Structure 1
Amino acid sequence: MSKKLIVLAVDDDMINLKLLKSMLMKNENVQEVLEAKNGADAIAQIKSRADINLILLDIIMPVMNGLEMLEIVRADDSMDQIPVIVLTTDETKKSQALELGANGFLMKPIRNSDLTQKIDSLMFQ
C-alpha cells in the first residue's frame, strides 16, 4: 500500500528547502512538496489546501517562527490533525516543540535516512 503524501516544507532558508525537497522527492510515498518561507506563509497554504498530510517545520524563521506556527496549527480544528515534524539546529527547543504538539523532531543537518524513517514511522504505522 503506497500512500501519496502532500508535504509542506516550512523553512526561510532556500538552500534548506531545496535540500529537503530533493530528499522528499526520493521518497516513494511523497507525491508533492509545497514550500513556505515562514509560519504565516505556511498557515495560509494549509488553509487553502485541505490535502496537506504532513508539515516539516523549521523553528528559526522571520515573521512567524516554527513554535508560534505550531501553536496556531494545534489550536485550529481544521489543522490540528496534521502531523508536524520539527527540524532545527537548536536541540534546546525539542521539549518545547513536543509540548506544543510536534509529532517528531529532527536535528539539522538532516540525513535522508532519518527523514524517511521518521516519515514512515509517523505516517504508515
Structure 2
Amino acid sequence: MNNINILVVDDDLVNLKLAEIMLKKHSNVGEIIKANNGLEALNVLTERNDINIVLLDIVMPVMNGLEFLDNIQVKEKISKIPVIVLTTDETVKREAFNKGANDFLTKPIVEKLLIEKINKFTALD
C-alpha cells in the first residue's frame, strides 16, 4: 500500500498534534485526518472510504472510544478498518478488545511502538 490515510481520534489537541508529528515522519503516510470525538470519527468514516486505520482515544466527550467501537461494529462498510486504541487507562484494554479494537497502546505514545503497531495492519515503513 503506498499512502495510508490515518484517522486520529482524540479530544486533546496536544495528543492530536503529537500523533500527527510522529506520523508525518513516515513517507507512506498520506493524509492524517483528525476528529475530536467518536461521533466526529464515525461521520468521517461514513463519508469517506479511503481511511486505512484508526487511532482511537477512549475518554472523550459526546461519544467515547468504547461507544465508537460499538457503532462501527454494526456498520459493515467500516467494521473492517483496523482500530488501535490509545489511552492512559489500562483497565479498558479487555473491554476495547471485546468491542472490536485490533490493538492497544498506552499513552504517552512512543513513536517506535506506534509505527510497529501500524505496521501490523499496513505496509508503513
TM class by smaller structure: over 0.9
TM superposition score normalised by structure 1: 0.95
- What does residue 101 of structure 1 align with? 100
Displacement of 1:65: 0.1
Q: Which residue of 1 aligns with 2:38?
A: 39
1:4 match: 3
The unaligned stretches of length 5 or more in structure 2 are none
State the match for 2:65 in structure 1.
66
User: The residue matched to 1:31 in structure 2 has which SS?
Assistant: strand
The 4+ residue runs of structure 1 with deviation greater than 4 A are none
Query: Gaps spanning 5+ residues in structure 1: where?
Result: none
**2:84 aligned partner:** 85
Amino acid at match of 2:80: Q
TM-score with structure 2 length normalisation?
Answer: 0.95
- Counterpart residue identity of residue 82, structure 1: I
Q: What is residue 51 of structure 1 aligned with on the other side?
A: 50
Paired residue secondary structure (2:100)? coil
SS at match of 2:79: coil
Amino acid at match of 2:25: K
Question: Whose RCO is larger (CA < 8 A, sep 6+)?
Answer: 2
Give the drift of 1:3.
2.6
- Counterpart of 2:25? 26
| Aligned length in residues | 124
